[in-house]
Amino acid sequence: MSEIISTSAPGKVILFGEHAVVYGFPAIAIAINRRVKVSIIEGNETSKSLFTPDLFPKNQFDLTNEHIIPEQLKAIFFLLKKTKVIERLSYGQQILIKSQIPPSAGLGSSAAISVSLAMLGTILSNQELQLENINKIAFEAEKIQHGTPSGIDNFVSTFGGGVFYLKNSLKRIDLSKISFKIVIINTKVTRNTKDLVLLVKKRYEEKKDYVQELFNEIKTITEQAKVYIEKGNIDKIGELMNENQVALEKLGVGHKKIIEAINILGNEGALGAKLTGAGGGGCVIGIFDSKEESSIAVQKAKEEGFEAFTTEPSKIGVIENGIKKD
């Protein structure tokens, strides 16, 4: 099976400001060096199909039959239709989606898929590649997937690097002065961003003043963090992450597995740790200034039954991997 064309886009971690960002408050996120790759493959079958081995390992879906596409793949199908990829595929060709990003874990895997597909569609249609447009198209799919997302996930995945995100506006954050190792622990408690965003909405409607106060706290933390990131003060960044975690727990998106993971990171010397993304399970991040300590933390987390790995910020947003000619 030969690859005709492929695109790829990164996952992300939110360092500060998740949930509050949905209500127009700022957040800070960085792209990470784990990616999704989307390819068109010349297969040996006669249909137009979709294969997502990291999401549904055993299944291959016939793209010409909308009725058999499972609910979880609706956003992908929407994008393939909207960008006319299905129309342009020849019979016998397959869309293959491979991901290094654990799904439903807060690391932006769905956004990375949407962004990669949006770029694939743009390339196939011979339109000019404008990242703003790719971001916009991906955001439409994110709305199908997550209800009322802020847009931060697709934004970071499209543009890469560090981003201070405020109401759809991009401010790059200069990451050149800080150097840290990020340990990600996946609690393996799968959850759904849409449900958690709805849970916070419900709390907001029930206890508006209290939640508003928490959002204001998170805003102050995020604004301070921007300054410390740009100054390269990693100790302060760690302290602020811990403060952000307390506010997220008060917001109701904590979980006992999150606390367990944070404790492992703290015991092994993390300068700060918090949940990342929607919470309720998913992933926890901790930052370290020592490579040795970060490796030990990964090891300890694995011994306790978690999935864990170290990651680094990535400047590379969505890219075309190259057209291979037979």
Question: Rule CB under 6 A: which residues touch ligand MEV?
Answer: 14, 18-19, 21-22, 106, 146, 149-150, 152-153, 193, 197, 277-278
Q: How far apart are the two ends of the chain, measured CA to CA in Å?
A: 11
Q: Which is nearer to ligand MEV, 43 or 317 (CB)?
A: 317
Copy the structure tokens of residue 189: 């408690």
Q: Which is nearer to ligand MEV, 6 or 150 (CB)?
A: 150
Q: How far is the CB of 153 from ligand MEV (least distance, A)?
A: 5
Q: Which residues pair with 32 in a beta bridge?
A: 313
Active site residue 153: yes
Q: Which is nearer to ligand MEV, 171 or 324 (CB)?
A: 171
Q: Which is nearer to ligand MEV, 232 or 252 (CB)?
A: 252
Q: How far is the CB of 138 from ligand MEV (least distance, A)?
A: 12
Question: Please, are residues 168 and 24 in contact by the beta-carbon 8 Å criterion?
Answer: no
Residue of 54, 62, 153, 195 marked active site: 153
Gap between the Cα atoms of 43 and 41, Å rounded: 6
Gap between the Cα atoms of 215 and 320, Å rounded: 38
Q: How far is the CB of 43 from ligand MEV (least distance, A)?
A: 33
Copy the structure tokens of residue 39: 């390819």
Gap between the Cα atoms of 174 and 181, Å rounded: 16
Q: How far is the CB of 20 from ligand MEV (least distance, A)?
A: 8
Q: Which residues pair with 185 in a beta bridge?
A: 284, 308
Question: Please, are residues 11 and 31 in contact by the beta-carbon 8 Å criterion?
Answer: yes
Cβ atoms < 10 Å from Cβ of 114: 32
User: Which residue in the block uniquely carries the two structure tokens 């703290």?
Assistant: 266
Q: How far is the CB of 239 from ligand MEV (least distance, A)?
A: 22
Q: Which is nearer to ligand MEV, 5 or 198 (CB)?
A: 198
Q: How far is the CB of 284 from ligand MEV (least distance, A)?
A: 14
DSSP 8-state symbol, 84? T
* Number of residues in the chain: 326
Q: Which is nearer to ligand MEV, 48 or 203 (CB)?
A: 203
169-186 burial, b if ≥16 CB within 10 A, otherwise e?
ebeebebeebebbbbbbb
- Active-site residues: which are they? 153
